[in-house]
Amino acid sequence: MNELTNAQRVTRVAWIIFAINWMLVLLAVFLPIQGWAALTYGVWLLLSMPALALWLVWHYRVRFQTKRSLFLIIALLYISGIFVFGYRLNQPALNFVFTMIFWNCAITIGLTMGLFFWKNDFSIQFIGILSLLLLWGLIFLGRSQGAILQLFICNNATGMSCPYWPLAPLWCIFIWALPLGIIGFIRHTLQLLRDEW
Amino acid sequence: MQQTIANLSHEMELSRIPQLMVGQIKPNRLQRLIQRLSERFGLRPLQWTTKINPQKEQIHTFGTRRHWYLAMEATTAHQLQLDLTTQPTVTKAILIHELHHFTSGDYWQLGYLAKLFQQTGWLWGWGVLFSIGMGLLLVLVAVEFLTLDIVDFLNQLSEPFSLGEELASLLPAQSEIDILQEQAQNINLGEATFLTVTFFFTVFMPFVIVTSILWLFFWPKLWRTREFYADAEVVHQQKSINPYRSALTGIPSVAFLNSASTPTHEPVPQKPFRQQLWQWLKQLRTNHPLLEIRLAALHHPTQIFDQWFKTGLLVGSLALLINIILQTPLTFFFLNRVTVHFSTLIIFIVAALSLIPLLVQGHKTYTAIVGLITIAIGIQSIFIIFAIGAILAAYFIAPEALDTMLTNAVVVMSGQTALSPQDYLFGSELSAYIVGFVKSGIAQTIFPFLLLIVALFIINWFLRRLFYWYAYPNADRRLMQIAYGLISIFAIFLILAVLPLLTTIWQEPAELSSLFIWFWVLIGSTIFGLGLAWFIKQDRLYAHFCPACQRKVEGDYELGKTCNHCGQRLHPWLLVEYEG
């Protein structure tokens, strides 16, 4: 039997902790924890889950360099965002699950996108398509909800309770895509020039 | 015998070929032959590969400027390997054809061109959607922005935000806000949306349409021409058309040597007009000429070059497309009245180049010049001629209706361009406007026509004169370069000196005092003068002199002409003898 490398050992441990964490999340409402225990539990989840997700994405980076994976993370981010910021459910456990999914995706989307742009020369097209989605999303939102300017300022200012802003996840992706896409574009341009000469 | 596009990334191109198997099949003899031929043509070692999946293309070249690939199906590779024993010249013919695409740079020049057209189409397509979106968003936000009560808005914050005196002083006064808000109520959203959409549509769509047309129809035309050149190279190298004819038709080459069914050397028989039209339409999108045309061109190489009628159609359409691009709202205000200069220049260059094959054969070119320019200018000016005709007819039949129509057009344009419509209303000045319009139309049709005729007759004389330079050293390489140089110098002279000067004299004579115009006229004239002086000097040294006996050769230039004194063949490089 082949010896495991350090990375494989870490990955195995990460999977185990990841599974335990998700069990803790699912059992959250049933656990009678309060005070310091609750605080420790929350901080542990908030810090460990993204760290584990980042490690796992990095370890399986070859699989995360595809359009399908990127789309999956974006879809998860968008759907969980709807339930976190838009339509809160009456199920605290489910709300907590969606919050954790959103939190994980919001952190790992950057790494996934970075990996995707590093491997695929698709960054400019991605930014182009995303900017069109954002722009036309704003227009349709403006036409359907009205007061688009107020809505925009409200969602970007502190201390105001605002109606749900469905473009927020797209905006979040765009913020990640812009710098990463530019870096990806430069990397592929340099690569092409190096290959050619 | 087909090529695919070169790509910026050969890796990308390789990845697109399904189930590509590099080096799985090793027809070594074929590989050695490719290597030998590459060395013979001075090519760098090729990367070559066989692919398993049968695709449309049996053998093709692709690559980038520095990475070259020759790909063929496994079955094709095996067949060629077998043919090496039974009919080696046929295999060689196929490979020479493919390798010519490398020596002439077809694969990367046309590959990059295709990418340019594709990407331009995508980019401007995106531009249409983005700009229209941005415009609509601004229209939507504008009313809200103008009617937004900032102070009231800030008070809505759960933590009230104080503007402070300095920041508050930057805001417009309440009375100004009231006026703005009143004006905002009058904004017609429907009209603003219509103007936004039409403006960006007219800015971007011409680029999308024109690049699509160039890519779909003009790019395949370039490929078809390059195919003829590659075919000609095979015959040039093998000194016989039989092997390549066999490669194209699949009939063994031996059959052509002994069979009575050998195709005649006559040109392709004329078909009925409808059939010709249908064939022409089918050809528009293909990268390869029809087999019968290719075979005919092997026997009669001059058929490679289009007749003046077809060249006129081609260059006229190209000039029309250029004019459409240059007259969008995005470009028109920068170029204004010089837009027609660019299309005139393009017609001049293409027409001048198309004269060379006729001159090589010693043919008369006057009909070709007049016919080509008439067709090209006719197509290029199709909109202008139509507009002048319609406006003149309307002016004489219903002047009041014309006034209303033009005024409406100006109001719409002023909405798009932020001009004041009051400055452009006609009324009593309608006659003056019509005169100006017709004058401008003449400047864009009749003047380019006359100018091009004169310019082409002059360049024709110079190009014809080149073929009398029998004694010119390295004429086989350098005469064509000189021909290109002559056309370039003429083109520079036209664009810098002649066209701006004529346009200014005709439309804005007051601007003749501008030093700017005379500066460029001086530059253009100097280049032309220097070129002319060099040409006259070379002409005195080499024209009419036999390279062998150095005596003067009498009579006009003819293809294959010999010296009257020593019998030396003049310009032997223009002739290739081959079996056919």
**pLDDT tens digit sequence for A64-117:** 888 888 888 899 988 888 888 777 777 777 787 888 888 888 888 888 899 999
pLDDT for B355 equals 93
pLDDT for B18 equals 39
Distance from CA of A75 to the nearest CA of B (A): 24
pLDDT, mean of residues B187-210: 82
Q: Which is nearest to B41 in space by CA: B61, B58, B22, B24?
A: B61
- Contact B133/A132 with Cβ under 8 angstroms? yes
More confident residue, B225 or B406: B225
Nearest Cβ partner of A132 from B64, B133, B144? B133
Percent of the residues in chain B that have a pLDDT greater than 70, as a whole number? 82
For the ranges B265-279, B366-380, B427-441, the lowest mean pLDDT is seen at B265-279
Residue B153 touches chain A, beta carbons under 8 Å: yes
- Using 50, 70 and 90 to split pLDDT, how confident is the model at B444? confident
Distance of CA A192 to CAs B9, B10, B12, B20, B66, Å? 6, 9, 11, 21, 12
More confident residue, B70 or B371: B371
pLDDT for B6 equals 35
Distance of CA B240 to CAs A25, B93, B229, B244, Å? 82, 10, 15, 8
Q: Do B136 and A139 touch (CB under 8 A)?
A: yes
Q: Do A149 and B126 touch (CB under 8 A)?
A: no
- Using 50, 70 and 90 to split pLDDT, how confident is the model at A47? confident
pLDDT for B8 equals 38
**Which of B203-212, B410-419, B424-433, B469-478 reaches the highest mean pLDDT?**
B469-478
Smallest CA–CA distance from A197 into chain B, residue: B66
CB interface of A with B, residues 167-196, below 8 Å = 192, 195-196
pLDDT for A95 equals 80
Pseudo-torsion of CA A21, A25, A27, A29, nearest 10°?
Answer: 150
Which residues in chain A touch residue B158, judged by CB atoms under 8 angstroms apart?
A: 159-161
Which residues in chain B touch residue A150, judged by CB atoms under 8 angstroms apart?
A: 144, 148, 153
Nearest Cβ partner of B130 from A132, A148, A196? A132
Distance from CA of A188 to the nearest CA of B (A): 10
pLDDT, mean of residues B253-276: 60
**Average pLDDT of chain A to the nearest whole number:** 82
Distance from CA of A96 to the nearest CA of B (A): 27
pLDDT, mean of residues B369-377: 94
Percent of the residues in chain A that have a pLDDT greater than 90, as a whole number? 16
pLDDT for B528 equals 96
Whether residue B143 is predicted with pLDDT greater than 60 in this model: the reply is: yes
- Contact B569/B553 with Cβ under 8 angstroms? no
**Average pLDDT of chain B to the nearest whole number:** 81
- Contact A14/A52 with Cβ under 8 angstroms? yes
pLDDT, mean of residues B398-414: 73
**pLDDT tens digit sequence for B517-559:** 899 999 999 999 999 999 999 999 999 999 988 888 988 898 8
The DSSP line for A85-125 is: II---S-HHHHHHHHHHHHHHHHHHHHHHHHHHHHSS-HHH
Nearest Cβ partner of B141 from A121, A136, A149? A149
Whether residue B426 is predicted with pLDDT greater than 80 in this model: the reply is: no
pLDDT for B49 equals 65
Whether residue B298 is predicted with pLDDT greater than 70 in this model: the reply is: yes
More confident residue, B457 or A79: B457
Q: Which is nearest to B545 in space by CA: B565, B531, B575?
A: B565
**pLDDT tens digit sequence for B32-88:** 888 888 888 888 776 666 665 555 567 878 777 777 788 887 778 888 888 888 888
More confident residue, A13 or B580: A13
pLDDT for B188 equals 77
The answer, yes or no, to whether ipTM is higher than 0.90 is no
pLDDT for A190 equals 93
Strands B20-21 and B47-51: antiparallel
pLDDT for B11 equals 47
More confident residue, A183 or A21: A183
pLDDT for B291 equals 85
CB interface of A with B, residues 84-143, below 8 Å = 121, 128, 131-132, 135-136, 138-139, 142-143
**Which of A10-24, A114-128, B136-150, B247-261 reaches the highest mean pLDDT?**
A114-128
pLDDT for A97 equals 81
Which residues in chain B touch residue A192, judged by CB atoms under 8 angstroms apart?
A: 8-9
Residue A156 touches chain B, beta carbons under 8 Å: no
Smallest CA–CA distance from A132 into chain B, residue: B130
Nearest Cβ partner of A142 from B12, B140, B157? B140
Using DSSP, how many helices (H) and how many strands (E) does chain A show? 7, 0
pLDDT for B578 equals 78
Mutation for testing the B interface, residue in A119, A122, A135, A145 having most B CBs under 10 Å: A135
What is the distance between the alpha carbons of residues B62 and A156, in angstroms, rounded to a whole number? 51
For the ranges A58-67, B47-56, B404-413, B496-505, the lowest mean pLDDT is seen at B47-56
- Using 50, 70 and 90 to split pLDDT, how confident is the model at B425? low
